[in-house]
Structure 1
Amino acid sequence: MLAIMTAYVCPRCQVHAPATALTWCCPECRGPWDLEFTSAPVPLASLASRVNSLWRYEEALPLATEIPHVTLGEGRTPLVPLVPLSSSGTGAVSAKLDFLMPTLSFKDRGAVMLAELARRLEPRSVIADSSGNAGTAVAAYCARAGLDCAVYVPDGTSPKKLEQIRAHGARTVVVPGDREATARAARAAADEPGVFYASHVYNPHFLHGTKTYVYELWEELGGRLPDTLVLPVGNGTLLLGAALAVEELYGHGLVDHRPALVAVQAEAVSPLAAAFHAGADELPAPAAARPTLAEGIAIPNPPRAAQILRAVRASGGTFLTVTEDRIRAAQLDLARRGLYVEPTGVACWAAVRAAPERPGTTVVPLCGAGAKTGLAPSAP
């Protein structure tokens, strides 16, 4: 039996709304939705003969009961070793190459779900807000689905990312100010009638797409998971998706342990790391919006902050931060290993290189291609 879509629910207020509505947030607290959704076990033995996209995990995905789906063949990215397991059983690190997605970032995992939902709802227009990668992914999948799309981006977004968004036929709305100002402008536009807000933060379908990152690891490792998952966190969409997948796999008896979730932020903008190490359950206040090479995770006030902190603590994980110098060094190190990744996408490798070795196996995602931004500039 396939899993089915049910309804949105606010995790704070317990307000419900149909998942077929264009209501993009809780009407009481204006917070992001969760999805009332129960997955079914994915049969590992049957996967070899299935479609070569993330829709292969149909039992675990909302929107999977109707075919055909929007797709660009996303998913199934390679897993390659970076550091071998030592004789003492520590230090094995592999990288999952999510920068090899169709739009060159992991955001395709969630964007395909949003585009599929929008295709069914038939809105007048789709809008998204992004510092680049999420907007590019939404633009591409809306093009695939034949949907009108506009992407709100902050002033200073990489010209290469703007070019990619526009090439897919989406309109760009450049907002003066930082990432938070861009999100506010998009949310105001999302309140207009007939608009579908393809938000990678507020719409939980995005998280059910990013959870396929862990399902792919589980499949590739023959029904196992690594001991540690190191994940970049700005708005936390990959980490929260990973947490969803881990709970589903463990709950269905398909794995015998839950990996520790280690969250990584840039030291320059690290409100969640500060809250975690202070023992807080929520952000006491938004962080300052300081410049960083890891622009994709420079989020001063993530709307799902409490969920992210709770997920990391429940897993027995922790938060790490990385300096600008370590980001630069990690990008060059990966390039010399044949992997050209954008600065945000190397944050996890930068953190692992600087941290003490962890027991067992660790996987880091390489989230975005270096061709999107180029090499990080040297420090002045």
Structure 2
Amino acid sequence: MLTPMTTTYRCPADGARAPVDAAPWCCPRCGGPWDLDFDAGSVQLAALPHRVDSLWRYAEALPLGPPSAGLGEGRTPLVALTPSVSAKLDFLMPTLSFKDRGAVMLVELARRLGPERVRRVIADSSGNAGTAVAAYCARAGLPCVVYVPEATSPKKTEQIRAHGARLERVAGDREATALAARAAADEPGTFYASHVHNPYFLHGTKTYVYELWEEYGGRLPETLALPVGNGTLLLGAALAVAELYGNGLIGERPALVAVQAEAVSPLATAFHAGADDLPPRRETATATAPTLAEGIAIPRPPRARQILRAVRDSGGTFLTVTENQLRAAQRDLAARGLFVEPTGVACWAAMSGWTDGPAVVPLCGAGAKTGLSA
């Protein structure tokens, strides 16, 4: 059973509320993503050395207790790349991407809802989130279906199948894939493990910042650079910063620097135009330009307004990187002993020359998932 304090979803757009154990996958009024009514407790730094060596060590801040089917997720290394920039190696997670942080929360929620409500789990993904959901479903014994774009890396689809999930390839881009999954999400007995619409995923990704806070001895670096497609890592980071600050555990908030591929950068464009949201959808949408950073090639992220506000409120900004910068960054990291996929190097591509104070970039996905970019 879910504890009483974690049983309510809240729509950030219109204020609608619904109990977690009976809610539709999105707000029934506006169709937007949910937030979670949850007051994070204060994590005491002095208590951490004696706790489990995973993200579950931050129990007071998490809306679910430790899972029965975890994989030791979290606590990834932090290494210096330059005197000013360090990298957190989230590609060393169990399924080789940071998405494990949120996927374990979603699958544990599905398991706790019980077989009378959940007979199968579905997810949509450009690869990494679907792989993570498939792996944790396999661990939990839950049937899983993963929708991916037809151009998804064969190495990622092989990994999804290896975990026993049924793979559904969708003609078109990432947005078409999400639409296909959402069409199936209302079928009886289905739990939609949406890393975009379900806020439990964000409460998993926020542990990225809790780990940095612990690593830095109870403070945070001045700048956090974060890749942004659907924005799940950035919004999780913003959530953690708000919790740490609200509980008096940090005295200053870091600036959030959001990084997008230049080829698909709707949020960067909106931010620099001073907009609070993306412009209304056009009757005839233009095709998404190809990019090596497939994991952040999202033309219309559902949480766009929240992402833009989080970056502005932090005093941060948006940066974009070219395809040549992505290629160069991947090869540069490989020469340093770190083989990371093109999406995962986006922040290093943007921040490699940074000298303005301590900053951290995440290396989000292993190079073995896609290979070396041509």
What's the TM-score, normalizing by structure 2?
Answer: 0.96
| Structure 2, gaps ≥5 residues long | none
Matched, 1:323 2:315: no
Matched, 1:219 2:218: no
Cα offsets for 1:289-314 (capped at 9, x unmatched)? 11000000000000000000000000
Matches within 5 A, 1:226-375: 226-285=221-280, 288-353=287-352, 357-375=354-372
Q: What amino acid maps onto 1:376 in structure 2?
A: S
Cα distance in 2 for residues equivalent to 1:263 and 1:138: 25
Matched, 1:150 2:145: yes
Cα distance in 1 for residues equivalent to 2:5 and 2:106: 16
Matches within 5 A, 1:15-54: 15-54=16-55
Structure 1 residues 3, 376: CA separation in 2 closer, same or farther (over 3 Å shift)? farther
Report the Cα offset of residue 252 of structure 1: 0.5
Matched, 1:69 2:64: no
> Please, which of 106, 112, 124 is the counterpart of residue 114 of structure 1?
106
Please identify, of 300-309 and 357-366, the stretch whose mean Cα deviation from structure 2 is larger. Answer: 357-366
Query: 1:83 is paired with a residue of what secondary structure?
Result: coil
Structure 1 residues 97, 297: CA separation in 2 closer, same or farther (over 3 Å shift)? same
Number of residue pairs matched?
365
Cα distance in 1 for residues equivalent to 2:248 and 2:172: 47
Q: Which residue of 2 aligns with 1:177?
A: 172
Q: Which residue of 2 aligns with 1:89?
A: none
Cα offsets for 1:212-261 (capped at 9, x unmatched)? 00000001111110000000000000000000000000110101100000
Matches within 5 A, 1:199-214: 199-214=194-209
Cα offsets for 1:277-332 (capped at 9, x unmatched)? 00000001457411000000000000000000000000000000000000000000
What's the TM-score, normalizing by structure 1?
Answer: 0.94
Q: 2:333 touches 2:340 (CA, 8 Å); kept in 1?
A: yes
Q: 1:215 touches 1:245 (CA, 8 Å); kept in 2?
A: yes
Two-structure CA RMSD over aligned residues (Å): 1.3
- % identity of equivalent residues: 76
Cα distance in 1 for residues equivalent to 2:82 and 2:289: 33
| Structure 1, gaps ≥5 residues long | 85-91
Q: Which residue of 2 aligns with 1:9?
A: 10
Query: 2:145 is paired with a residue of what secondary structure?
Result: strand
Cα distance in 1 for residues equivalent to 2:47 and 2:119: 39
Report the Cα offset of residue 265 of structure 1: 0.1
Cα distance in 1 for residues equivalent to 2:298 and 2:337: 29
Query: 1:192 is paired with a residue of what secondary structure?
Result: coil
Q: 1:125 touches 1:147 (CA, 8 Å); kept in 2?
A: yes
Report the Cα offset of residue 211 of structure 1: 0.1
Query: 1:45 is paired with a residue of what secondary structure?
Result: helix
**Divergent runs of 4+, >6 A:** none
Report the Cα offset of residue 5 of structure 1: 1.1
Q: What amino acid maps onto 2:52 in structure 1?
A: V
Cα distance in 1 for residues equivalent to 2:4 and 2:253: 22
Cα distance in 2 for residues equivalent to 1:268 and 1:359: 27
Cα offsets for 1:17-37 (capped at 9, x unmatched)? 001125100001100000011
Structure 1 residues 73, 3: CA separation in 2 closer, same or farther (over 3 Å shift)? farther
